[in-house]
């Protein structure tokens, strides 16, 4: 990359290494040029600090440059016009103008620091977009207000007072009165934070949007916390307004809501609570003394959002305390007694730097709901090695058989109860929803009563008893085969959004469930399955929205019910395949988009999948080497174990008792040679469990435990910190043992965001090549799509040399046949998935210039002389800094042991000196 001169980075808190200066210069000049840049720097090279000091310095320099240009323009105007500051003007006029300008500036400054965007904020929160309400992670703040129906009711159609709230307002379709117009003139949705009085809402001040914002996003909560930690080391922590965003689940301090545990239910409950205060006021006003209003916990809204003055105090505290991460904000919210989720969101407008998770920025619906303005901003996406897959997965939609049955059942009950009271518009749309849910149920149940679904021959293709149950279809084929292609899904989605039917049906269903299961009530007073109807309805809306995508953008996965109850439940899923349209919106809005990561190559795959329209010379790429010297790492391809057996962890061989035993013997040896901590990575939790049990049975586990403690990565993320703490304690206080071994999983929490510096990771052992299962139908759909990219002769998915029946068989060999049929792109994508995961895992060990570690790649396929190879050589896709030092061939295991002895003796002596 052209440097175009050296920039200065005074904020860097230490004396930077030359590669850090190169990285910061590359990033700085990328921002000058704008557009898309990819910056690769190995983990452990101070990448995060380099990003902060370069990007924020550029923003600072740019603002100073803009101010200088404005001053010059202002001076030129003054000189030309001779109006302001002219010698002809009396002093009192000059002073008046200057003082007035100062007052305006002071007022603006005050608003920027403490203000809360009222109308502007509310408008942003209520973007009229389908995806606002129907994205997978719903984040819109309110649904249409629940007003009492004003429709006159016949004497015979009496509605109980308590049921009246569930009755829908009359709804006119496009033919009857314009697109989705409601008979009663409903006011537009308004976002409020349930302040204690209407007067308090008027206290919100208009806030000026900070221009030239920086958005920094990463994949995990811990990576964002690490970014904030690094930011605090620089002067920018005091000079810039910074806000950290996260999910409701991470921010919520309402114990009643938190107890729900599930992210979707927490979101729904939060939104429900915010509408509840308006409900209560509406009931009091309309019913007066005639109706008995029952107050519940929900009737007064969320207690953490009742007082606006506490939200203001929360913002003021952040202004005084400086840069806070999510944990700090949650603690501050608890101390004050106000919601940190909405408190942090209210500060977006005035922020210079917004730190947020992937989904908040990459998902259009969430971006719009949060009011993120990317215009002329800088977007930095860290850990971007799997960006394309992360992006498209946000647009997937899924509804399970149980959710469909639940929604269909409650729609029928609701329609049966209120049919005679509903207008023609509501009746027609509810009947349409019933037709759709019935069609989806038929295809999933596979007509278990023996009546095969004759209208869906494509979906039935290849399905045999006890053989195949999964299939995939294009959107249009799916709609035609179910005979639902004549339904206007856009209008139906608009109806769901405007009519509030989701909440009416789920509210009525919750009430009926509570009455029938009077005793089945939780401690917090909620029904046991409260929220499940709404979740199912939301899943249905998401699926319907997905069906409005272009035919080639994705595929419908149909996973039918298995005969065995222990099998996977049936579901319908929309899988998005292309991310270029989604990503182009971000690129076209922002001034610059930077993709950063430890290993971003091969960049061609990312370019083809996310920005194929971008000319190659407009994509800026920079890569630097590692800060550690070559003698600080020892990458070894280990093809044979202590007994001389060849290591083969391919799918067909890895479960043999001899292979698991040989791996155990290797660990016994390593526990003696390697000091402190060893981290062993397996391809999956299932395989790790299988190996652990085999070691336990054979007595190998007992032998390893005599030398080192053993810890295992838990499946629950909440338990990770406890295990890591125990692992570290075992290394820091080894006696009577010599450290510890941590058994981890590729793609798990430990392989992504956890650092194993110094004694925490003296050796990383990669067991086999963690290729994803080729029996995964979604993976194969992506492979087929990627294989077709760049094929200008045809836009169709390539015909692969495998029959549909074999493909949908779901067995591994059929999947491999598909992969072997790929010419280049699809096969390379599959290889890249594996090696990117390997690179992420082995990069956990070397974290600073004085660190050292051995990296053992345990499988004969890593060796240079391996002849058993269907794909390209794995070593070709290793990071350059590892590839340069890789010992890819050893004569026997004795040579491996000898090299390890020499390596640790050398580095121990070097550090002692």
Predicted pLDDT of residue 562: 67
| Sheet-wide strand order for 378-381 | 242-244, 353-357, 214-218, 378-381, 592-597, 35-40, 619-623
The one-character DSSP state at 242 is E
Whether the CB-CB separation of 635 and 887 falls below 8 Å is answered with yes
How much of the chain exceeds pLDDT 70, in percent?
75
Per-residue pLDDT for 501 more than 70? yes
User: Which residue reads 């030092």 in tokens?
Assistant: 885
Q: Average of pLDDT values for 768-772?
A: 94
pLDDT tier for residue 518 given thresholds of 50, 70 and 90: low
> 415 has which bridge partners?
none
More confident residue, 292 or 376: 376
Kindly report which listed range (39-48, 88-97, 209-218) carries the lowest average pLDDT score: 88-97
**Please, what's the b/e burial string for 281-290 (b: 16 or more CB within 10 A of its CB; e: otherwise)?**
eebeeeeeee
Q: Which of 276, 251, 249, 257 is nearest to 338 (CA)?
A: 251
The one-character DSSP state at 578 is -
More confident residue, 96 or 847: 847
Predicted pLDDT of residue 160: 53
pLDDT tier for residue 340 given thresholds of 50, 70 and 90: very high
Predicted pLDDT of residue 301: 79
Quick: pLDDT tens for 544-555: 999 999 999 999
> Whole-angstrom Cα distance, residue 670 to residue 696?
18
Could you tell me where the DSSP H helices lie in 232-357? 236-239, 248-251, 255-258, 263-287, 308-321, 326-336, 340-345
Predicted pLDDT of residue 870: 56
Quick: pLDDT tens for 773-811: 888 889 999 999 999 886 544 444 444 433 333 334 456
> Whole-angstrom Cα distance, residue 561 to residue 469?
7
- Average pLDDT, whole number, for the chain? 79
pLDDT tier for residue 104 given thresholds of 50, 70 and 90: very low
Q: Which two tokens stand for residue 723?
A: 């295990």
Distance in angstroms between the alpha carbons of the first and the last residue of the chain: 39
Kindly report which listed range (63-72, 120-129, 173-182, 559-568) carries the lowest average pLDDT score: 120-129
Sign of the alpha-carbon torsion through 427, 497, 582, 575: negative
Q: Is residue 40 classed as helix, strand or coil in its secondary structure?
A: strand
Q: Can you give the C-alpha Rg of the chain in angstroms?
A: 31
pLDDT tier for residue 625 given thresholds of 50, 70 and 90: confident
Quick: pLDDT tens for 271-287: 878 766 554 444 444 44
Predicted pLDDT of residue 675: 93
Q: Average of pLDDT values for 666-676?
A: 95
Q: Average of pLDDT values for 734-753?
A: 88
What stretch of H or E contains 896?
helix 893-912
The number of residues in the chain equals 913
> 743 has which bridge partners?
680, 712
Residue 611 vs residues 387, 504, 582: alpha-carbon distances, Å = 12, 43, 10
> Whole-angstrom Cα distance, residue 387 to residue 391?
6
> Whole-angstrom Cα distance, residue 185 to residue 203?
28
Sign of the alpha-carbon torsion through 21, 26, 29, 34: negative
> 622 has which bridge partners?
39
> 472 has which bridge partners?
557
Per-residue pLDDT for 161 more than 80? no
Predicted pLDDT of residue 297: 40
Q: Average of pLDDT values for 31-47?
A: 92
Other Cβ atoms closer than 10 A to 5? 9
Per-residue pLDDT for 460 more than 70? no
Assessment of whether the complete model's pTM goes beyond 0.85: no
Quick: pLDDT tens for 807-835: 344 567 777 788 888 888 898 999 999 99
Q: Average of pLDDT values for 752-766?
A: 90
> 621 has which bridge partners?
38
Per-residue pLDDT for 707 more than 50? yes
User: Hey, which bits of 337-389 come out as E strands?
Assistant: 353-357, 378-381
Q: Which two tokens stand for residue 413?
A: 């009950």
Whether the CB-CB separation of 604 and 789 falls below 8 Å is answered with no
Per-residue pLDDT for 45 more than 60? yes
pLDDT tier for residue 313 given thresholds of 50, 70 and 90: very high
Whether the CB-CB separation of 594 and 27 falls below 8 Å is answered with yes
The torsion angles phi and psi of 154, rounded to 5 degrees, stand at -65, 160
More confident residue, 517 or 188: 517
State how far Cα 710 lies from the chain centre: 32
């Amino acid at each position: 990359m052209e440097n175009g001169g050296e920039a200065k980075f005074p904020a860097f808190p230490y004396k930077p290494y030359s590669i850090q200066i190169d990285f910061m210069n590359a990033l700085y000049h990328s921002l000058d040029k704008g557009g898309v840049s990819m910056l690769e720097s190995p983990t452990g090279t101070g990448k995060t600090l380099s990003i902060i000091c370069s990007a924020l310095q550029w923003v600072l320099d740019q603002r100073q440059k803009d101010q200088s240009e404005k001053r010059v323009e202002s001076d030129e105007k003054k000189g030309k016009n001779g109006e302001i500051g002219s010698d002809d003007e009396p002093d009192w006029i000059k002073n008046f103008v200057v003082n007035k300008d100062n007052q305006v500036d002071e007022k603006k400054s005050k608003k920027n620091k403490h203000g809360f965007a009222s109308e502007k904020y509310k408008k942003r929160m209520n973007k009229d977009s389908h995806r606002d309400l129907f994205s997978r992670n719903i984040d819109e703040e309110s649904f249409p207000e629940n007003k009492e129906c004003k429709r006159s009711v016949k004497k015979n159609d009496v509605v109980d007072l308590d049921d009246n709230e569930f009755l829908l307002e009359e709804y006119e379709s496009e033919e009857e009165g314009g697109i989705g117009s409601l008979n009663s003139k409903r006011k537009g949705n308004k976002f409020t934070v349930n302040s204690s009085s209407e007067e308090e809402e008027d206290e919100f001040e208009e806030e000026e949007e900070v221009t030239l914002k920086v958005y920094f996003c990463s994949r995990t909560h811990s990576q964002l916390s690490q970014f904030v930690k690094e930011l605090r080391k620089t002067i920018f922590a005091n000079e810039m307004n910074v806000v950290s965003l996260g999910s409701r689940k991470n921010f919520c301090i309402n114990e009643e809501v938190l107890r729900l545990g599930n992210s979707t239910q927490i979101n729904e409950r939060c939104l429900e609570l915010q509408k509840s205060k308006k409900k209560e006021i509406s009931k009091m006003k309309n019913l007066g003394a005639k109706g008995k209003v029952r107050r519940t916990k929900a009737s007064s809204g969320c207690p953490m959002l009742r007082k606006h003055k506490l939200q203001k105090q929360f913002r003021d505290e952040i202004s005084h305390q400086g840069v806070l991460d999510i944990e700090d904000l949650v603690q501050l919210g608890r101390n004050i007694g106000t919601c940190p989720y909405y408190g942090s969101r209210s500060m977006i407008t005035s922020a210079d730097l917004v730190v947020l998770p992937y989904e908040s920025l990459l998902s259009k619906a969430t971006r719009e709901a949060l009011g993120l303005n990317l215009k002329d901003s800088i977007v930095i996406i860290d850990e971007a090695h799997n960006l394309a897959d992360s992006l498209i997965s946000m647009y997937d939609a899924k509804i399970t058989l149980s959710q469909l049955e639940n929604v269909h059942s409650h729609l029928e009950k609701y329609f049966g109860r209120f049919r005679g009271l509903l207008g023609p518009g509501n009746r027609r749309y509810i009947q349409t929803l019933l037709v759709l849910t019935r069609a989806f149920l038929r295809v999933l149940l596979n007509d278990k009563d023996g009546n095969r679904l004759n209208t869906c021959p494509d979906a039935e293709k290849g399905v045999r008893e006890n053989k195949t149950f999964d299939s995939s279809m294009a959107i249009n084929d799916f709609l035609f085969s179910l005979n639902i292609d004549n339904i206007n899904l856009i209008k139906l989605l608009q109806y769901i959004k405007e009519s509030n039917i989701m909440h009416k049906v789920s509210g009525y269903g919750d009430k009926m469930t509570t009455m029938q299961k009077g005793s089945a009530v939780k401690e917090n007073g909620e029904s046991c399955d409260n929220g499940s109807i709404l979740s199912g309805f939301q899943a249905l809306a998401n699926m319907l929205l997905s069906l409005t995508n272009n035919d080639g953008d994705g595929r419908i996965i149909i996973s039918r019910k298995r005969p065995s109850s222990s099998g996977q439940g049936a579901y319908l899923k929309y899988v998005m395949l292309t991310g270029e349209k989604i990503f182009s919106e971000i690129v076209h809005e922002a001034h610059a988009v930077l993709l950063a990561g430890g290993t971003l190559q091969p960049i061609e795959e990312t370019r083809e999948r996310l920005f194929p329209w971008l000319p190659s010379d407009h994509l800026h790429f920079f890569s630097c080497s590692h800060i550690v010297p070559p003698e600080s790492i020892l990458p070894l391809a280990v093809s044979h174990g202590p007994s001389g057996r060849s290591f083969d962890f391919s799918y067909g061989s890895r479960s043999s008792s001899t292979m698991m035993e040989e791996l155990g013997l290797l660990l016994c040896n390593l526990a003696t040679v390697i000091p402190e901590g060893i981290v062993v990575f397996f391809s999956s939790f299932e395989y790790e469990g299988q190996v652990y049990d085999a070691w336990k049975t054979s007595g190998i586990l007992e032998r390893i435990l005599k030398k080192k403690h053993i810890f295992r990565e838990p499946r629950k993320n909440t338990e990770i910190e406890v295990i890591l703490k125990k692992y570290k304690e075992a290394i820091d206080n080894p006696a009577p043992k010599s450290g510890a071994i941590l058994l981890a999983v590729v793609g798990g929490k430990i392989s992504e965001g956890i650092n194993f510096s110094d004694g925490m990771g003296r050796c990383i052992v990669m067991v086999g090549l963690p290729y994803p299962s080729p029996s995964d139908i979604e993976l194969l759909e992506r492979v087929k799509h990627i294989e077709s990219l760049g094929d200008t002769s045809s836009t169709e998915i390539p015909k692969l040399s495998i029959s549909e029946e074999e493909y949908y068989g779901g067995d591994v060999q059929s999947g491999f046949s598909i992969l072997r049929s790929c010419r280049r792109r699809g096969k390379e994508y599959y290889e890249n998935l594996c090696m990117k995961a390997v690179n992420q895992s082995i990069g956990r060990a070397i974290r600073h210039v004085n660190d050292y570690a051995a990296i053992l790649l345990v499988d004969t396929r890593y060796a240079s002389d391996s002849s058993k190879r269907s794909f390209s050589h794995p070593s070709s896709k290793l990071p350059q800094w590892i590839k340069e030092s890789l010992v890819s061939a050893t004569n026997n295991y004795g040579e491996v042991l000898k090299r390890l002895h020499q390596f640790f003796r050398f580095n121990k002596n070097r550090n002692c000196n």
